Amino acid sequence: MNLQHRIYLLSRLGEYILSTEVAWQKAKEKANWENGWFIPEFVELASKNIALSFLQKDILEKWAGGHQIPASSTNSRTIGIVMAGNIPLVGFHDWLSVFISGHKAIIKLSSKDQVLFKHLIEKLAEWDPLVNKFTSFSEMLKGCDAYIATGSNNSSRYFEYYFRKYPTIIRKNRTSIGILSGKETNEELRKLADDVYLYFGLGCRNVTKIYVPSGYDFIPLLDAFNKYRHLADHNKYKNNYDYNLALHLLNKKYYMTNGSILLVEETAFFSPISQLNYEYYSDTDKLSDSLKNHPELQSITGEGYVPFGQSQYPAISDYADGVNTLKFLSTL
């Protein structure tokens, strides 16, 4: 299977994702039934972004050309991929990198995201059965030439041990933050709400903490966050909100809320579901220096960084953890 044909199949898959075909609609519904966090709104968002930002012929050709992927692969390796399941199709880019490079992927799917990816691979195999030679699924990953594994800080230690003799990309817990100047417009604050609330805040690109200047007025921010007030009606999210609220009440900890999120002053980057941490700052340069190349940060939103509202819309060249997957695969 040459590069041109792989790009053809991928671009056709992008068209399929954007279609209203019954089988695809049923797969998305099933994904929601099996994982309550995968609500239709977020499944649609994740899959549409993959179709529009990854699976376009011109985007794929430019991406492959920039890494000098040969037209015909003569040195195919087998890559084991351990996928996360925190948001829909979160491991798609890893597979895409392996597939377009002409390597074979053996995938261990997360129990939280079993439906969508399998359905898309099955659709590709309908168009070309040879896809099954290049992509398969397994609960045990053995005999691979290299591994790409995503998980928690705890599971990453196991990955590092089990795969220690092989070339690896191992991804740990990461999160994102926002830096506010206090001069943001209401529209910018509404876009920040996207960075915070999309996927219920479960993604590594979700903003889980904001830095605000001393004396910051939180009222406009809380008002802008009402854009996602409807998420407070979601059972799983509401349970987390009620639990965290109860903890703060019991501990007599100061918080602010609009009924769908808790704002709490904390130094930690990571916050629990339904909570957004905040911290005051007084010197922008010192703050920037302290955050530079921080190992726990996936991205930073704000003026001079990723624009508000864009953190959940990565381009094909926005690699997780900043590790260029195609470059890694080219060294094998």
Note whether 248 and 184 are same-domain residues: yes
Note whether 191 and 63 are same-domain residues: no
* Tally of structural domains, the chain: 2
CB 287 within 8 A of CB 179: yes
What residues does 209 pair with on adjacent strands? 177, 277
Alpha helices by DSSP H, 128-234: 131-134, 153-162, 186-197, 219-224
Give the per-residue pLDDT at 75: 84
Please indicate, yes or no, if residue 99 is contained in any of the structural domains.
yes
Note whether 127 and 9 are same-domain residues: yes
Nearest to 325 by CA among 200, 218, 170, 213: 170
Largest separation between any pair of C-alpha atoms in the chain: 64
Note whether 133 and 152 are same-domain residues: yes
Note whether 8 and 64 are same-domain residues: yes
Please indicate, yes or no, if residue 310 is contained in any of the structural domains.
no
Percentage of residues in the chain with pLDDT exceeding 90? Answer: 96
Give the per-residue pLDDT at 82: 97
Phi, psi of 91 (to 5 degrees): -95, 5
DSSP 310: -
Which residue has 């904390």 as its token pair?
A: 266
- Cα 105 to the chain's mean position, in Å? 20
Give the per-residue pLDDT at 70: 87
Phi, psi of 316 (to 5 degrees): -65, -25
pLDDT band at 136 (very low <50, low <70, confident <90, very high): very high
pLDDT in tens, 117-134: 999 999 999 999 999 999
Phi, psi of 239 (to 5 degrees): -60, -40
Note whether 183 and 167 are same-domain residues: no
Buried b (16+ CB within 10 A) or exposed e, 106-132: bbbbbebbbbbbebbbebbbeebeebe
Note whether 162 and 262 are same-domain residues: no
Give the per-residue pLDDT at 321: 87
Note whether 204 and 235 are same-domain residues: yes
Note whether 90 and 109 are same-domain residues: yes
Note whether 13 and 133 are same-domain residues: yes
Percentage of residues in the chain with pLDDT exceeding 70? Answer: 100
pLDDT in tens, 110-120: 999 999 999 99
Q: Which of 173, 208, 229 is the last residue of a domain?
A: 173
Give the per-residue pLDDT at 150: 95
For the chain, the average pLDDT equals 96
Expressed as residue numbers, the domain containing 232 is 175-301
- Ranking 55-59, 101-105, 321-325 by mean pLDDT, the lowest is 321-325
CB 144 within 8 A of CB 80: yes
Tell me the CA distances in angstroms from 189 to 5, 65, 210, 220, 321, one per residue in order: 43, 38, 12, 8, 26
Note whether 72 and 185 are same-domain residues: no
pTM here is 0.95
pLDDT in tens, 231-281: 999 999 999 999 999 999 999 999 999 999 999 999 999 999 999 999 999
pLDDT in tens, 183-239: 999 999 999 999 999 999 999 999 999 999 999 999 999 999 999 999 999 999 999
Tell me how far apart the alpha carbons of residues 279 and 330 are, in angstroms, rounded to a whole number.
Answer: 42
CATH of residue 184's domain is: 3.40.309
pLDDT in tens, 58-108: 999 999 999 989 888 778 999 999 999 999 999 999 999 999 999 999 999
Q: Which of 131, 150, 173 is the last residue of a domain?
A: 173
Please indicate, yes or no, if residue 103 is contained in any of the structural domains.
yes
Give the per-residue pLDDT at 92: 98
CATH of residue 167's domain is: 3.40.605.10
Amino acid at position 135, single letter:
T
Please indicate, yes or no, if residue 315 is contained in any of the structural domains.
no
Nearest to 169 by CA among 40, 322, 284, 8: 322
pLDDT band at 283 (very low <50, low <70, confident <90, very high): very high
| Environment class of 233 (CB within 10 Å of its CB; exposed 0-12, middle 13-18, buried 19+) | exposed
pLDDT higher than 90, residue 18:
yes
Note whether 132 and 277 are same-domain residues: no
